[in-house]
Amino acid sequence: TRSSLSAPAHHASCVGRTGANPEEGVALMRRYELMLILRPDVADDRTKAIFERTARSITEQGGTIMKDVAWGRRRMAYEIDGVRDGIYQIIVFEAPASAVAEVERVLLITEEVLRHLVIRDERKGAAALRDDVIEGIAAASPDEDEIQAAAAASEFAANAE
């Protein structure tokens, strides 16, 4: 006789590999941190519009904004496109991977954006510490030495886990 074995429609080890659970149809939400650097000559209303459009893009794709911190105008470590200063913004959010791809696509074609970086935050304890560091930096408006010290403290905490 012939055995009628069939593969299961869904195997538990497949959940999360593609970023979605096919049984539920819900995308896996991950935590990300986005840093944007805009050209310093961008008008305030245009700067605000870019940041709002970025946040709206995240939420329209099913994401949630956790923190949105304006660092303002700061001197960069090196010159980019002949510019030494930039307007910084940090957005911490949870979203599916597809939202990140769409946000990056839009940022890449936005002329006012000098640089952007999206990192996936998989750490638990260090993530909370880094958020506190970000809030402290934004509130205190520190000099460059304080920023480097805060970054070193965050990196130390990440390595300690």
Instruction: Please say whether the beta carbons of 66 and 92 come within 8 A.
Output: yes
What SS3 state is found at 67?
strand
More confident position, 60 or 147: 60
Locate 159 and state its tokens. 């390595």
Dist. CA 150–CA 136, nearest whole Å: 9
In the structure, what pLDDT confidence band is assigned to residue 122 with cuts at 50, 70 and 90?
Answer: confident
In the structure, what pLDDT confidence band is assigned to residue 8 with cuts at 50, 70 and 90?
Answer: very low
Tens digits of residue pLDDT in 123-154: 765 555 566 566 665 555 555 655 665 565 55
Mean pLDDT of all residues in 154-160: 56
Dist. CA 159–CA 147, nearest whole Å: 18
Q: Which helix (H) or strand (E) holds 33?
A: strand 30-38
Dist. CA 117–CA 132, nearest whole Å: 20
Tens digits of residue pLDDT in 64-107: 999 999 999 999 999 999 999 999 999 999 999 999 999 999 99
Please, which residues have CB within 8 angstroms of residue 134's CB and are 6 or more apart in sequence?
67, 69, 90, 92
**148: amino acid identity, one letter:** Q
- Residues of the chain with pLDDT > 90, as a percent, come to 56
Per-residue pLDDT at 12: 39
